[in-house]
C-alpha cells in the first residue's frame, strides 16, 4: 500500500489547479456544518454554493463543477432535493461525493443513502462504521460498529468500491482511499479535528471540489485528504484548544502551498 | 441559599465522569446555534448528535444518553420531531432538557413548549422572561417581561418546578437552579457571553449531557452552569471582543480541570 | 458622486444611536449564515431574532424594529414565512431589507424575490449580478453576469431604485448606494471578506438594523457599509487568514468607535 502526504508533487499541482479553477461546488449538507463547510471551501480557494430547495437542486447541479451530498440531518424534503441533484449531476456529468453520515444507526437515512448510490457517486467518504454499514446494507446485511478503526473497515471498503464502481474513502486516524483494486493511505491529521464539528463533513466537500480538477476520483480523494491532514497538523501546533484550532485550520488551508 | 462555583469538589468529580462517559447527547435545537452547540459539547468532552427528522428523532432519543429540545426556531415539522423524541425519551428513561426560547413572545412556540411539558423534562432552562412566561402559561396566565432579572423570576421558577416536578434553571447575570424546595445560585460568567449567539442554548445542551452522569437533575444543572461560568470568566480575560471570546471559550471548556 | 467613509460625523452619530437603541432585528436568512449574522448584529450592538416559522414570522415583524429577508437557501415554506413577514412589516411600518442572493441564476428564488418587491423593501442589497438580474427581471429581461463589477451595475441599480422606490446598495470592492437620483460610494473593505461566508449576508442584516435608527434608508445603507468596511480593514491588518479574520472582524465591530 502506498502512502501519500503533502507535499507530494501531484497533490501540489492539483491544489494549484484547484485555486486557478475555483470549483463551483454545490453542497447539500447537514444544518450543523453548512457555515463551516462553506468557510473551508472558501479558505482553500473553491466557490461553495449551498442550493438545497427541491425546486432548485436539480437545476443547479448541472451548472456546478462538483456536488456534495451529506445526509447528516436529512429530512424528507432534503431527500427529494438530494435525489434531484444527484440524478441531474449524473446526467450532466457533474462528479459527486456521497457522505453517508450515521448510516447504519438510523433506518431512514440508511435507505436514502442506499437509494442515492444508483446515481453513481464518484467518491463515497465515511468513517469506518458508516462505510461498513453502507457496504452491508447494499448486500442486505447491517454491519454497524461505531468503535471500528479505519483499518478494520478496509475489506468492506474495497468490496463496496468494487460493487459500486465508486472510490471509497475511509477516514480516521489514518485515511484510506480505495477503488477496490488499489488502496492508498494518507496519515496525518490531529486529534483536535475530532473536537470540532464538521471537519469530516467539510473534507467531503473538499474531495468534491478536487473532483473538478483532478484526473481521477482516486486522486481527488487523496489530494483532499492530504491537504486536510497537513493543514490540521500545522493548525494543531499553533492552537490551545478546539476554538483556536478551528480558526487556525481555516488560516492554514488558505495559506498551504502559498 | 447556597452558592456553587467551580471548583467545588462535586462539580470537579462530575466533569471527570462526564469526560469518561462522553455522553451521547441528542440535540434538537434551533438553526442559529447548531454548529456552536455541537462545538461546545465536543470541547467539553461529550458526543453530540443532531438528529432532527421526525422519521428519526423518536428512534434516536432512546439510544442517546441525554436529550436537548430547544424551540428557538421551531417549525411544524420540528415540533413533530420534538414530540416524538420527548415521548420516546420519557418511555426509555433518557433524561432531557427543555429550553423554551422566546416562549411568551410568540403563541405558536409557547403552545409547543407547554405541550412538551407532559413528557416531563428533567430540567427546564430559560432566562427570566421565558421561565415566567412558561410558569404563567401552564397556569393560564401570560407573564412576559423581557427586562426581568433572574432574581425576579425566582418565585415563578420555584412554582414551575413544584408543578412540573422538573428542575428549573433561570439564567442571567447570576444563574439560579431550583427544584421547588431547594434553590441554589451560581454566580460568574461574563457580559461577553451575551454578545455571542448560542451561549445560553449551548448551556442547555451541556446541562443535558451532565444529566447522563450526575446523581440528580439538580446537580446536572448546577454542574453545567458552574463549568460554563468559569470557562467564560477565563475566556473573557483572554479576549478583546466577542469573536476572540467565542474561540477562547471553546478552548477553555476543553482545558478546564485538565 | 460623493464618498462616505468611517469616521464621517453622521455615521459616528448613527452608530452611537444604534448602540443606544439596540434594534430588535428580525432576520429570515439562509441556513449557511444564521449564526454568523446573529454574531455580527450582537457584536455591533443590535438584538437579532431569527423567527422563521410561517406561523410566527408575520406576528413578529411588526414587533421588530427592522427586518431582513435573504433568499440564499429559500424553500417553499421559507417563502411563505417571508411573504407573511414582509406583508406585516409593510403594514406595521417596520422597515426592511431584501437580499436577493443568487437571483438570476435560479428561477425559483428569482420569482420569490420579485414577488417580495411588492411589499416595498426600504433597501435592496446585492452584488452586481444580483442587482442586474433583479433589475432585468422586474422589467422582463434576465441580465445575469456574475463577473460584473459594481460599477457596471450602477445604471441598472439606479433604474431599479427609481422603479421600486427602494434604496439599492451594490456591494463589491467598492460599495455603491443609490436612490435613483443620488448615488454615493463607500470604498474600503478587504479581499479576506470574500473568503468568509456570510459577510455580505450579514451586511444586509446590519443595514436593516441601521434602518431603525437612521433618518433615511439611504443613510442606513451608507452607515452599514462604512462601518463594515472599516471593521474589515482593521481586522485584515490583524489576521493571517480567513479564520482569524472572521474572529477579529467580530472583535472590531464590537470595538469600533468605542
**How much is the average pLDDT of A212-221?**
98
Q: Reduced to 3 states, what is the DSSP secondary structure of residue C96? A: strand
Q: Which residues of A touch C106 (CB under 8 A)?
A: 51, 56, 59-60
Contact assessment for residue A207 and residue A123, using Cβ atoms and an 8 Å cutoff: yes
Cross-chain Cβ contact A241/B252 below 8 Å: yes
Closest CA–CA distance from residue A81 to any residue of chain B (Å): 15
CA A34 centroid distance within chain: 14
Cross-chain Cβ contact C50/B31 below 8 Å: yes
Closest CA–CA distance from residue A142 to any residue of chain C (Å): 33
Q: Which residues of B touch C88 (CB under 8 A)?
A: none
Q: Which segment of A135-139, C15-19, C159-163, C237-241 scores lowest on mean pLDDT? A: A135-139
Q: Which band of pLDDT confidence, cut at 50, 70 and 90, is reported for residue A151?
A: confident
Q: Which chains touch C (3 or more CB pairs under 8 A)?
A: A, B
Q: Which segment of A221-235, B135-149, C77-91, C166-180 scores lowest on mean pLDDT? A: B135-149
Residue-averaged pLDDT of chain A: 94
- Closest residue of B to A198, CA-based? B35
Residue among B139, B181, B182, B132 nearest B157 (CA)? B132
Cross-chain Cβ contact C43/B246 below 8 Å: no
Q: Return phi, psi of residue B16, to 5°.
A: -60, -40
For the four alpha carbons of A17, A21, A27 and A33, in that order, the dihedral sign comes to positive
Q: Reduced to 3 states, what is the DSSP secondary structure of residue B252? A: helix
Q: Return phi, psi of residue B88, to 5°.
A: -70, -35
- Closest residue of A to B61, CA-based? A106
Q: Which residues of C touch A44 (CB under 8 A)?
A: none
Which of C50, C59, C255 shows the shortest C-beta gap to B32? C50
Cross-chain Cβ contact A255/C244 below 8 Å: no
Residues of A at the B interface, defined by Cβ within 8 angstroms: 30-36, 72-76, 102, 105-109, 194-198, 239-244, 246-247
DSSP calls for A1-13: -EE--TT-HHHHH
- Counted across chains A and B, CB pairs separated by less than 8 A come out at 85
Distances (CA, A) of B158 to B170, B171, B211, B250: 10, 14, 20, 32
DSSP calls for A82-95: HHHHHHHHHHHT--
Q: Reduced to 3 states, what is the DSSP secondary structure of residue B48? A: strand
Q: Which band of pLDDT confidence, cut at 50, 70 and 90, is reported for residue A143?
A: very low
- Give the pLDDT score at C221: 98
Q: Which residues of A touch B234 (CB under 8 A)?
A: none
Cross-chain Cβ contact C52/B35 below 8 Å: no
Residue among C254, C258, C243, C228 nearest C46 (CA)? C254
Closest CA–CA distance from residue B166 to any residue of chain C (Å): 27
Which of C105, C107, C241 shows the shortest C-beta gap to A43? C241
Q: Return phi, psi of residue A168, to 5°.
A: -115, 125
Please provide the distance, in angstroms rounded to a whole number, between the alpha carbons at the two ends of chain A.
Answer: 30
- Residue A96: strand pairing partners: A67
Cross-chain Cβ contact A73/B60 below 8 Å: no
Contact assessment for residue C57 and residue C34, using Cβ atoms and an 8 Å cutoff: no
- Give the pLDDT score at B144: 38
- Give the pLDDT score at B179: 98
Taking residue A59's Cβ as centre, other Cβ atoms within 10 Å add up to: 17
Contact assessment for residue B10 and residue B202, using Cβ atoms and an 8 Å cutoff: no
Taking residue A254's Cβ as centre, other Cβ atoms within 10 Å add up to: 24
CA C20 centroid distance within chain: 21
Q: Which domains does chain A have, with CATH numbers?
A: 2-255 (3.40.1190.20)
> Cα(B169)–Cα(B178) distance, rounded to whole angstroms?
6
Residue among A171, A209, A233, A205 nearest A15 (CA)? A209
Contact assessment for residue C15 and residue C196, using Cβ atoms and an 8 Å cutoff: no
DSSP calls for B182-208: -EEEE----GGGGGSTTHHHHHHHHHH
A76-90 residue pLDDT tens:
999 999 999 999 999
- Closest residue of C to B30, CA-based? C50
Q: Which chains touch A (3 or more CB pairs under 8 A)?
A: B, C
CA C94 centroid distance within chain: 15
Helix (H) or strand (E) holding C236: helix C217-237
Residues whose CB is less than 8 angstroms from the CB of residue C258 and which lie 6 or more positions away in sequence, other chains included: none
Q: Which residues of C touch B105 (CB under 8 A)?
A: 60, 63
Closest CA–CA distance from residue A238 to any residue of chain B (Å): 13
> Cα(B176)–Cα(C4) distance, rounded to whole angstroms?
48
Query: Computed over its alpha carbons, how large is the radius of gyration of chain A?
Result: 16
**B interface mutation test: which of A71, A74, A81, A106 has the most B CBs within 10 A?**
A106
Closest CA–CA distance from residue C248 to any residue of chain B (Å): 6
DSSP calls for B61-77: TTTSSEEEEE-TT--HH
Residues whose CB is less than 8 angstroms from the CB of residue C211 and which lie 6 or more positions away in sequence, other chains included: C23, C66, C95, C96, C97, C122, C123, C217, C220
HSE-CB at C7 with a 13 A cutoff on CA atoms is 7
Which of A76, A106, A244 shows the shortest C-beta gap to B247? A244
From its phi and psi, is residue A249 left (phi > 0), alpha (psi between -120 and 50) or beta? Answer: alpha
**B interface mutation test: which of C247, C252, C253, C255 has the most B CBs within 10 A?**
C247
> Cα(B150)–Cα(C1) distance, rounded to whole angstroms?
52
Cross-chain Cβ contact C50/B73 below 8 Å: yes
Cross-chain Cβ contact B53/A75 below 8 Å: yes
**B interface mutation test: which of C31, C36, C55 has the most B CBs within 10 A?**
C55
Cross-chain Cβ contact C31/A39 below 8 Å: no
Contact assessment for residue B44 and residue B226, using Cβ atoms and an 8 Å cutoff: no
Helix (H) or strand (E) holding C168: strand C167-171
Which of B34, B56, B251 shows the shortest C-beta gap to A108? B56
Cross-chain Cβ contact A52/C75 below 8 Å: yes
Residues whose CB is less than 8 angstroms from the CB of residue B177 and which lie 6 or more positions away in sequence, other chains included: B167, B168, B169, B170, B183, B184, B185, B186, B218, B221, B222, B225
Q: Reduced to 3 states, what is the DSSP secondary structure of residue C256? A: coil
Q: Which residues of C touch B195 (CB under 8 A)?
A: 42-43, 254
* Helix, strand, coil fractions of chain B, as percent rounded to 5: 55, 15, 30
- Give the pLDDT score at A49: 96
Show the low-confidence residues of chain B (pLDDT under 70): 137-147
Q: Which residues of B touch C59 (CB under 8 A)?
A: 106-108
Count of helices and strands (H, E) across chain B: 10, 9
Query: Computed over its alpha carbons, how large is the radius of gyration of chain B?
Result: 16
> Cα(B32)–Cα(C31) distance, rounded to whole angstroms?
8
Q: Where are the alpha helices (DSSP H) in C45-153?
A: 54-60, 76-92, 107-116, 128-138
Distances (CA, A) of C101 to A3, A108, B83, C106: 43, 32, 34, 10
Q: Which residues of B touch C62 (CB under 8 A)?
A: none
Helix (H) or strand (E) holding B177: strand B175-178
Query: Is the entire prediction scored with pTM above 0.95?
Result: yes
**B interface mutation test: which of C27, C39, C243 has the most B CBs within 10 A?**
C39
B92-125 residue pLDDT tens:
999 999 999 999 999 999 999 999 999 999 999 9
Closest CA–CA distance from residue A103 to any residue of chain B (Å): 12
Q: Give the full edge-to-edge strand order of the sheet including B96-99.
A: B2-3, B183-186, B175-178, B167-171, B123-127, B96-99, B66-70, B24-28, B47-49
Report the percent of chain C where pLDDT is more than 90.
Answer: 92
| pLDDT of C182 strictly over 80 | yes
- Closest residue of A to C109, CA-based? A56
Would you call the peptide bond into C112 cis, given omega within 30 degrees of 0 as the criterion? no
Which of C43, C51, C247 shows the shortest C-beta gap to B195? C43
Q: Reduced to 3 states, what is the DSSP secondary structure of residue B105? A: coil
Please provide the distance, in angstroms rounded to a whole number, between the alpha carbons at the two ends of chain C.
Answer: 30
Residue count of chain C, please give it: 258
| pLDDT of A98 strictly over 70 | yes
> Cα(B126)–Cα(B204) distance, rounded to whole angstroms?
8
| pLDDT of A68 strictly over 70 | yes
Furthest CA-CA distance within chain C: 47
**How much is the average pLDDT of A132-142?**
68
- Counted across chains A and C, CB pairs separated by less than 8 A come out at 86
Amino acid at each position: 500500500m502506498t502512502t501519500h502526504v503533502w507535499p507530494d508533487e501531484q497533490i501540489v499541482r492539483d491544489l494549484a489547479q484547484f485555486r486557478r479553477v475555483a470549483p463551483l461546488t454545490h453542497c447539500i449538507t447537514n444544518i450543523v456544518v453548512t457555515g463551516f463547510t462553506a468557510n473551508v471551501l472558501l479558505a482553500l480557494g473553491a466557490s461553495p454554493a449551498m442550493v438545497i430547495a427541491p425546486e432548485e437542486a436539480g437545476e443547479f447541479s448541472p451548472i456546478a463543477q462538483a456536488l456534495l451530498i451529506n445526509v447528516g440531518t436529512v429530512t424528507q424534503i432534503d431527500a427529494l432535493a438530494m435525489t434531484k441533484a444527484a440524478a441531474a449531476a449524473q446526467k450532466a456529468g457533474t462528479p459527486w461525493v456521497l457522505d453517508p453520515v450515521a448510516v447504519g444507526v438510523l433506518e431512514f437515512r440508511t435507505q436514502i443513502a442506499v437509494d442515492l448510490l444508483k446515481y453513481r457517486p464518484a467518491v463515497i467518504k465515511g468513517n469506518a462504521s458508516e462505510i461498513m454499514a453502507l457496504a452491508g446494507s447494499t448486500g442486505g446485511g447491517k454491519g454497524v460498529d461505531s468503535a471500528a478503526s479505519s483499518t478494520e473497515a478496509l475489506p468492506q471498503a474495497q468490496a463496496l468500491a468494487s460493487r459500486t464502481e465508486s472510490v471509497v474513502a475511509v477516514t480516521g486516524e489514518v485515511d484510506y482511499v480505495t477503488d477496490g483494486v488499489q488502496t492508498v493511505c494518507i496519515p496525518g491529521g490531529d486529534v483536535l479535528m475530532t473536537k470540532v464539528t464538521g471537519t469530516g463533513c467539510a473534507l467531503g466537500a473538499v474531495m468534491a471540489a478536487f473532483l473538478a480538477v483532478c484526473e481521477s476520483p482516486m486522486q481527488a480523494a487523496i489530494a483532499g485528504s492530504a491537504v486536510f491532514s497537513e493543514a490540521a497538523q500545522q493548525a494543531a501546533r499553533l492552537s490551545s484548544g478546539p476554538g483556536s484550532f478551528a480558526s487556525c485550520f481555516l488560516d492554514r488551508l488558505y495559506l498551504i502551498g502559498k
